[in-house]
Chains A and B, each alone.
Chain A
Amino acid sequence: MKLGGELVKWDRAAESIDKTAVGVERRYGKYKRNLFAGARGRTLLVAAGTGQDFASLPENLRVTAVDFSRAMLEKARPRAALYKGSLNLARMDVQRLAFRDGTFDTILTSCTFCSVRDPVEGLRELNRVLKPDGRLMMFEHVRAGNPFLGILMDLMTPVSRLVGPDLNRRTGENVRKAGFEIVREFNVYLDIVKIFEAIKRGA
């Protein structure tokens, strides 16, 4: 895994991310729970972090939750044990997943592709491991469509990237570039916090 500084940054963030994410959970948790309620069959949760999202998963799924940060996974372990279903943790980079083609029925992401180094490559990897009739469900923050706000987010990103995620990712475009067709898009706050549901193009 050649992740260097990124890995160090997220290992460090494992200490504080639960506190900084409280507002996000408080504001958007219900949207995330509604989205994740649609998960079916064998499910991949990408960038599990400290496992805050496990409580939003419907019961009795067969879940594999991956993250590239060992520190995050250590924090996630006790939460994984509380899940009412099967939940396995694995240390893995989303850009190089150790799963066979077409393994998963559902793939879930939660504020993930604001941080993946090469988002299109990561999304192509998700496309590869998703079954032909599977569904990608994403809860993400993205660059604003409003040009003025978008430029401000571009200007703020070098600062935000020092301690956390990028603010100016064009995730909708990246999802399409990676071979998916977006079948549902929902604005949660402005057009910055969004839900995407996507299927493999041509499925």
Chain B
Amino acid sequence: MREYSPAFLRGVDYVGAMIIGASSVLLPRLLVPHGWGMAASMALGMALAMTAAFFVTILLSPLTAFEVAVPGMIISMTLGMLPPHLISVSFPRLALVGVLAGAATQLVFHVYDMSLHGEVKG
């Protein structure tokens, strides 16, 4: 099995989160019908985003385990519900929102992991 540096693997975590972020806003925007009610479009958006997150996680599974799956779950659940509220936002801007939100969420998990990693006292 080929070994990779921790920095490279950390980069994979961020790239994975950013791809999930972008697909979590773009897919619902493309596929959720405009005439649907708020609750239904949010639910469908979330389902689409979570499906996308699942496939990105599988795609990256040779390089990652929970580091993309867990943040990806949060990113897709929350961002997937947004597009019905963002009809007026252009696709590039929406994609940027998704990428930045994905990276920010991964950063939060990175810091959270640093606070928990290691021996558990008491």
Contacts and interface: CB of A to CB of B under 8 A. Distances in A.
A25 B65 CA distance: 9
Contacts of A27: 9, 64-65, 67
A190 B4 CA distance: 21
The binding surface of chain B is classed by DSSP as: mixed
Nearest to A141: B66
A188 B117 CA distance: 6
A66 B4 CA distance: 31
A20 B61 contact: yes
Nearest to A156: B73
B89 interface: no
B74 A186 contact: no
Contact of B66 (A19, A20, A22, A190): A190
**Residue from A19, A144, A149, A189 whose CB has the most chain B CB atoms within 10 Å:** A189
Contacts of A188: 117
B63 interface: yes
Contacts, number: 60
Contact of A185 (B62, B73, B119): B119
B4 A26 contact: yes
Contacts of A26: 1, 3-4, 9, 62-63
Interface stretch (B31-39, B79-87, B93-101, B108-116): B108-116
Interface residues of A, number: 25
B117 A187 contact: yes
B7 interface: no
Contact of A189 (B1, B67, B73): B67
Interface string A173-189: 00000000000111111
28 contacts: A19-B62, A22-B61, A23-B60, A23-B61, A25-B1, A26-B1, A26-B9, A26-B62, A26-B63, A27-B65, A27-B67, A29-B1, A144-B70, A184-B119, A185-B119, A186-B118, A186-B120, A187-B116, A187-B117, A187-B118, A188-B117, A189-B117, A190-B66, A190-B70, A191-B120, A192-B70, A193-B65, A193-B66
Given A141-B66, A191-B116, 13 more contacts: A20-B61, A23-B63, A24-B65, A26-B3, A26-B62, A27-B64, A27-B67, A186-B120, A187-B120, A189-B67, A190-B109, A190-B112, A193-B65
